[in-house]
């Protein structure tokens, strides 16, 4: 259904020596994303086991709201830099809310 709430897990792994760069650039996404109309929550985490590994945990009002987020210029700019700063491709999974 188009109005199903959506959760997203996005895992990022910084190249060695670039953890702080990835952290700062990802943190810059938080405020504008949280201002988007369809954003319920947008939380950024860093692994306890590996300082190079980060995760976004996101909740959206709908898949349409998520799709609109994915087109935002600030997110597109971050994605464009991914090959330079990330050791692996972004690992993104999308989940439908059941309860």
CATH of the domain at 45: 3.30.70.100
Among positive and negative, which fits the CA dihedral 55, 58, 64, 65? negative
Nearest to 34 by CA among 3, 59, 8: 59
Name the 3-class secondary structure at 21.
helix
Q: How far apart are CA 96 and CA 99, in angstroms?
A: 9
Ranges in the chain, pLDDT < 70: 1-2
Q: How far apart are CA 57 and CA 76, in angstroms?
A: 18
pTM for the complete prediction? 0.91
Asked if residue 1 is part of any domain, the answer here is no
Domain range for residue 45? 6-96
Give the per-residue pLDDT at 2: 55
């Amino acid at each position: 259904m188009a109005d199903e709430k959506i959760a997203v897990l996005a895992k990022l792994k910084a190249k060695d020596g670039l953890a702080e760069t990835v952290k700062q650039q990802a943190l810059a996404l938080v405020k504008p994303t949280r201002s988007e109309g369809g954003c319920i929550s947008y939380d950024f985490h860093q692994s306890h086991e590996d300082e190079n590994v980060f995760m976004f945990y996101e909740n959206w009002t709908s898949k349409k709201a998520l799709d609109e987020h994915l087109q935002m210029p600030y997110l597109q700019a971050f994605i464009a830099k991914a090959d330079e700063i990330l050791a692996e491709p972004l690992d993104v999974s999308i989940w439908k809310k059941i309860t």
